[in-house]
Structure 1
Amino acid sequence: MTFQVEENVPLAPLTTFGVGGRARWFARATSEADVAEAVNWAAARGVPLFVLGGGSNLLVADEGFKGLVLRMEIGGIEAVGGGRFVVGAGVEWDEFVTRVVSAGFAGVECMAGIPGSVGGTPVQNVGAYGQEVAEVIDAVRVFDREKLIFVWLDNKDCGFRYRESRFNIDEPGRFVVTSVRFQLKQGGAPNLKYADLRKRFGLDVNPEAAKPSLQEVAVAVREIRASKGMLHSPNDADSRSAGSFFKNPIVSDSLVGSIAQAASVATENVPRWPAGAGLVKLPAAWLLERAGFVKGFGSGRVGVSTKHTLALVNRGEASFADVEQMQAEIVAKVEALFGVRLVREPVKLG
C-alpha cells in the first residue's frame, strides 16, 4: 500500500504565496485507492480533511491545519478519442495545456501558464484571457464523501459559474476530484477575444491581419502573464502570490454612474462587461488603482505586486495575519469609495 501519513508537515513551501503553519497530518494520493483510504482515515479519527493540489490559490492560516492534508498526485494524460482527454487531478495544469496545444487541440490555449494542478481547475472554474474551464470540461471524476463512491459528474452537474462551482460553493468538502475529462476541438481556431492578445497580434488595428496559431497564442499568454508577475517563477519575487487576489465584482448596472462619479471619470469610461440582466462585471484592478492601491503599494511584508495591481505578494517572511491586514485595508477603502465590496479569490485553510 502506498498510503502513508506524516505528522506536522510545513505547508507554506507547498503554496505559491508561502505563508502559514503546519498540517497536523499529511499524506499523498497517487491513486483513487489512496483517496478512499485518506477519507476513511480522517473519518475514523474525527478529523477534517483538506485536499491540496498545486497550492496556487491557497492561503494557509498561521496556526496551520489541525486535520489531514491530502496532497493530490494522481497523474496521467490519456487521449480517449474525439478530442477528449482524461487527466489526473495531480497533473500540472500547464503541462496539460502544453501537450494538447502542441497537438493542435483548441480550447485551453488562453489558459497557458496558470499555476496549479488539473484537479483544482473545476473547483474554482479557472479562467483567463477569454476562456474558462467550464467551456471545455466534459465531466469530472470525484469521490463522493457522503455516498463513499467514485462517480463521474457531467458538466451540468458541476454548477459552474464565474470562479465558482458546486465543489467550492454549493457542497464544499463533499467531493474529492480525482480526474477531469476535457472536450477540446482538434484544429480549432484560437480564442482571440482578450484585448491584450488582439493588441499583441495587431488585430486591434487590423482585424484582417493574419491570425496566430494555437501555440503562438499560448506563448503570448505566458509572456503576458510573466510581464504581470502571474507566471510562477522562483526568480520573480512578484510571482510569490496567489494570482488574482480579488474576484471581479458583479454589480447592478445602476451603480455605474455613482462609481464613475466617485472615480471622477465619465460613465462611459468605467470599464465593464455584461453579466446578465441588469448586471455588469467590473475589473477589480481598476477599482484598486482608483482607490490608491497602485502597483508596488505597501511598505510591509505584504504589498501590491509591482507588475499587476490585482496581485498581493509575499515580500519575504510574511504571515497570514499580514495578508489579512492588507486585505482588510483594501476591502474597506474600495467599499467606502465605490460601494462595492470585494471578495477574496484564494481559499483560506485553517
Structure 2
Amino acid sequence: MSGYTTLRLGGPARTFVEVTTEDELIAEVRAAELAGDPVLILGGGSNLVISDAGFPGTVIHVSTRGVTVEDGLVTAQAGEDWDAFVARCVREGLSGVECLSGIPGRVGSTPIQNVGAYGQDVSETITEVRAYDRRTGEILTIPAADCGFTYRHSVFKGDDRYVVLAVTFRLAASPDSAPIKYAELARALGVEPGGTVPLQDARDAVLALRSGKGMVLDAADPDTRSAGSFFTNPILDERQLKEFADRAEGFPAFPEPDGRTKTSAAWLIDHAGFPKGHANGPVRISTKHTLALTNPTEEATTEELLALAREVRDGVRAAFGITLVNEPVFVGVTLG
C-alpha cells in the first residue's frame, strides 16, 4: 500500500481492486461483504496511515470520473482529483473552493473530514452527498444538514457505514473569490480580511503558501512525503482554556461560534520543543511546517512514524496539558 499513500507507508493488501464506475464500486463493496472481507475504500491516500502489516481484506481504489455543472450546482464523482476539480472551478468562474487549492486527494474524501484550509471548509458549499449505505444496501442522497459537519469531522468519519459516491457543491458564478477570511492569505494577496480578489489570484496565492510549507505534492520535495497536517487544532472549553492560559502565554486564540476557543497545534508543538526538522530515526517533522510528519527518504516504517507522533503528542501534553488528536485516518494502528 505504500505506493498508494502520500506518506509512502503501509504493507500489502490481501485483495486490491480499482473501480472506475459507481456500479463497479457498489458491486465490489457488496462482493467483499458477501465474502466476509473487511473493506478499505481508498482515494488519493493523502490522509491515511496504514499499518506495516497492511490490510487483511479488500482495498477498493476509487477512480470514478465525471463532473457536471448546472445552475450553480457542481457534482463531482468521488474519484475525481480534488485539486484538478478546484482548478476547473476557477477556470470556469465558479467561486467557493478556490482557497482549497493544492490539497491532495480525491473529491470523495472531502466531506468525510470536512476538508478545510485558509478560511474555507467544504461544508460551506456542499449541498448534498450521494452515498451507498452498507447497512441497508440503499443509495442515498444525504443533504448537507444531515452530514453532521463540524471541525474536521462528519457523520462519514470513523464509521464505514457510508461509501461516498459523489458530492454536490453550490458555487457562485463569479470571477472573484469568496471573501478572504484567513489573515495570512489576505496579507499575501494585499487585501484586508473580508476582501475579494480574482479567483486565479486566490488560487495562485494559496498554492504558493502551501508550497512554501511543503503541502503541495512534489516528487522533488521530500517534505511532501506526509499526510499533511498530522494533528488537528485543539478546541478548548472555558475550563481547558483557563488551565492552558495558566501554563502558557502569547498563544494563538481563535473564538469558535459555540463559545469555545481554538488554538494552534503547530504553536503547541513548536513551543513544546519540537522545531521544524526535528527527527526521530528516518522520520522527521517537516523542515517547512511543524504540523507535518514526514518520511523523507521513503525508507521508514509506519511504526517509526508513530513513534515520532507519540513523542510529539506526549511532549505537548507534558508541557501544556493538551492532548493532540491525529487528523489522518489510521488503518490497523493506533497512537495508544
Q: Which of the five TM-score ranges fits, normalised by the shorter chain?
A: over 0.9
Shift of 1:82: 1.7
* TM-score using structure 2 length: 0.95
Residue 235 (str. 1) matches residue 205 (str. 2): no
1:227-272 deviations in Å (ceiling 9; x for gaps): 0000011111100000000000111234445434433x3xxx3211
Q: Which residue is equivalent to 2:304?
A: 322
Question: In the comparison of the two structures, how many residue pairs are matched?
Answer: 330
Residues 1:174 and 2:161 aligned together: yes
1:145 aligns with 2:134: yes
Percent identity among equivalent residues? 43
Q: Partner residue of 2:145?
A: 156
Opposite residue 67 of structure 2, the aligned amino acid is I
Report the secondary structure of 2:236's partner residue: strand
Residue 214, structure 1, aligned to residue 191, structure 2: no
- Pick aligned residue for 2:185 from 197, 200, 215: 197
Runs of 4+ that moved beyond 4 A = none
> Contact 1:245 / 1:310 at 8 angstroms: preserved in 2?
yes
Task: Check the 8 A contact 2:214/2:221 in 1, yes or no.
Answer: yes
Q: Encode CA deviations 1:169-217: one digit per residue, 9 max, x unaligned.
A: 4xx101111111111011154331111111112235xx79x95211100
Cα deviation 1:54-102 (Å, max 9, x = unaligned): 00000110000001000001101111x2211110100000011000111
Cα distance in 1 between the residues matched to 2:105 and 2:224: 13
Is the contact between residue 280 and residue 308 of structure 2 (CA under 8 Å) also seen in structure 1? no
Indicate which of 108, 124, 132 corresponds to 1:119: 108
Superimposed CA distance per residue, residues 113-166 of structure 1 (whole angstroms, 9 cap, x where no aligned partner): 000000000011100000000111111111111111212111011111100000
Partner of 2:268: 287
In the TM superposition, what whole-angstrom CA distance separates every residue of 1:255-312 from its partner, at most 9, and x where no partner exists? Answer: 445434433x3xxx32111124441011100000100111111142111000000000
Q: Which residue of 2 aligns with 1:334?
A: 316
Q: What is residue 29 of structure 1 aligned with on the other side?
A: 19
Match of 2:172 in 1: 185
The answer as to whether partners of 1:295 and 1:304 remain within 8 angstroms in 2 is yes
The equivalent of 1:136 in structure 2 is 125
Ranges in structure 1 where 5+ consecutive residues have no aligned partner: 1-10
**1:242-257 alignment, distance < 5 Å:** 242-257=227-242
RMSD between superposed Cα atoms in Å? 1.6
| Superposed displacement of residue 18, structure 1 | 0.6
SS in 2 for 1:328: helix
Q: Secondary structure at the match of 1:36?
A: helix
The letter for the 2-side match of 1:145 is R
SS of equivalent to 2:322: coil
Distance change in 2, residues 1:144/1:257 (3 Å):
closer
Residue 64 of structure 2 is aligned to residue 83 of structure 1? no
Q: Which amino acid aligns with 2:247?
A: A
The answer for unaligned runs of 5 or more in structure 2 is none
Secondary structure class of the residue paired with 1:119: helix
Structure 2 counterpart of 1:283, which letter?
Answer: S
> After the TM superposition, which of the residue ranges 237-246 and 148-157 deviates more from structure 2?
148-157
Corresponding letter in the other structure for 2:210: R
- Return the alpha-carbon distance in structure 2 between the equivalents of residues 203 and 191 of structure 1: 10
